Chain A
Amino acid sequence: MKQLNEVIKEVAAQSLSRGEVDLVIGWKKGDLWWQSYPAFVEGDEGVADLIWDPFCVPNLSRYLLEELDDKSKVAIFVKGCDALGFNQLLQDKRVEREKVYLYGIPCDGLVDPRKLEAAGHKWLSEVRRDGDELVLVSKEGEQRVKARDFMYDKCLTCRYPNPVTYDQMLGEAVEAQPQERFAGVEELEKISDDERFEYWARQFSRCIRCFACRNVCPACSCRECIFDIPEPRWLGKAKELSEDQFYHIIRAYHVAGRCVDCGECTRVCPVDLPLQELNRKFIKDINELYGEYDAGVDPETEAPLVTYNTNDPAAFTES
């Protein structure tokens, strides 16, 4: 990991100084140990700030929607999940491939600071990855813990840790060790309809309608979102369960077949709505109805919900 932290600075400096790109989007460090956030580097000065550490979770490809407007070429770093999101933007014809340079980063899982805090690991100054372990640095010294115990849930089920698309791979490929990603969905499928309705009603009622899940989503790239149109206002602004349900369910339908399962919706939700589980239910159903399909793996493969086969099941009309 230490090595990669140097490599990203080198490649960014090189691309910029050779004039190959106008902008490199990477990550930099904030004041607090878990703050690794998007950084926009256009010249030499910002290069030294670029980092790679176990908290570089924000997907950088969404920024291309704005940044490419006035630039001829932009380089971004992509992890496995980010590359899927990037491909989805390509498939939705929202970015032009030739205007982007992708540095691929094999990623063996990122750390959820809340899991560390919940286990009492607070007031840290640095967290480093060392093989299968995390090195937690604090004023009291260093402590080693098992990395997998503190990864984001979404990383534990990750099937594509190595970017499926890139121009230059920075580092050795890592081995995927995915847990069953539909386990949560299957649990919810087991309970009765009423219980499931009650479960989701309880979750959605917590929603504060901040739209973070939409704004971070690589499948939510519409120029104008239906939920923002003032006239007619499809989504009322009242804090009512029916509006909360409408928002989340319609959004899930809108990204169905295009959701790359990156789990950013769940990560950014300020009130812990398990949104990835909702989207995974759609993925699971699509897989079962129309055959296995992984959105974002190959932008050339036609998505099941935009193709029609005469032998497609007609589940809605048959039941």
Chain B
Amino acid sequence: MKKINKEKLPALWERLADEAALYLPVEEDGVVNFAPWKEGAAVNLDVINTMVPPKHLVFPQSENYLRFHVEGSKLEIEPLDVDGPYVVFGARPCDVAGIAIIDKLFLDEPCDTLYKERRDNGTIISLGCNEPEETCFCTSFDLEPGFSPDADISTWDLGEYLLWEPRNEKGQALTAKLDDLLEAADSGAAQAVEKLRQDAASREAAVVREHGWEVQGVKEALEDKFDSEIWDEIYRRCLGCGVCTYLCPTCHCFDVQDYSKGQEGLRFRCWDSCMFGDFTLMAHGENPRPTQKERVRQRFMHKLLYYPSNFEVYACVGCGRCVRKCPVSIDITQVIKAAGGVE
């Protein structure tokens, strides 16, 4: 294990930015989001949930992937290159878990090479959470606020120092380039991390218990709930906006669109939301999900039943963004409770 004095972080970021494009939580106009580092950037490592999760770094909101040229009846198609190497610094364990969850879908056969290439180009440095927010429930999904098993490098905030531990070859390769900035951690470091992890997890677990947000058995409980009245209660206040889907670290639905100017054009994929009425609208006007009820049900069933059926993991990491940001307080914990899985 290594450590770095927090005073040296700007030097570290400068170095990382030399290696690759560096993204980290930056505060601008009072909003903290993952943004490219530049000198003097107001890096904010205290905020737990950035407003938008770093999902967009591996799965951009819109992504051009081919260029076309149309001339009369002739068509030319040319694939576009994916952006080069990048480093994500300060990703919280829930958000890293979100990426690991969508990996399962995109890397499943047939592999989405567009996603894979971008994903492979990135090195993720996680920052463990010392304590949970009120809306945190990652422990419901067997995740740990203080530790990210899926990051390439884990770090922990111990006040004066940031502890630093590479977790795989990619992490080790990057760590090796930072030798002069990192120092060997003290002998007590591992113990300190252990304590931080345990404290954060037990504090969060207590809150989860108090609210009844445990998710055990919810998948099984939802198996016969397609026609349940729980959806009637939940959907009715839904405004049909895309806040929940677009702020969700695991929502991954996309649309494919063309953009053209004269004979040249680009094809891109972009985020789409199952909350929108046109998501499943067919060309001839029929819609298998005609009202907001079917759409709300789809979103929660996808996260809590369909995704775990296909990939053996819930498509929720308990980051709490939907809990906090839904304008009418529709949040997944209400579905978890209504499904009634806990024994």
Contacts and interface: CB of A to CB of B under 8 A. Distances in A.
Interface of A: 30-32, 35-40, 58, 62-63, 122-123, 202-203, 206, 208-212, 214-216, 228, 230, 233, 236-240, 264, 267-268, 270-272
Contacts of B30: 272
B243 A31 contact: no
Contact of B52 (A30, A37, A202, A271): A271
Interface of B: 28-31, 33, 51-52, 60-62, 134-135, 211, 213, 236-237, 239-243, 245-247, 255, 257, 259, 268, 270-273, 276-278, 281, 323, 325, 327-331, 333-334
A211 B329 contact: no
A268 to B, nearest CB: 4
B241 A210 contact: yes
Given A58-B328, A270-B325, A239 B270 contact: yes
Q: Among B135, B213, B243, B281, which residue has the most Cβ atoms of chain A within 10 A?
A: B243
B333 A31 contact: yes
A122 B203 CA distance: 15
- The A interface is mostly helix, strand or loop, or mixed, namely loop
A38 B237 contact: yes
Contact of A239 (B62, B243, B328, B331): B62
Contacts of B323: 32
B28 A202 contact: yes
A43 B188 CA distance: 62
Q: Among A32, A214, A216, which residue has the most Cβ atoms of chain B within 10 A?
A: A32
A272 B62 contact: no
Contacts of B241: 210-212, 214-216, 268
B273 A210 contact: yes
A94 B236 CA distance: 19
Given A208-B61, A270-B247, A58 B257 contact: no
Given A32-B134, A32-B135, A37-B237, A237 B243 contact: no
A193 to B, nearest CB: 19
B252 to A, nearest CB: 15
B29 A202 contact: yes
A237 B31 contact: no
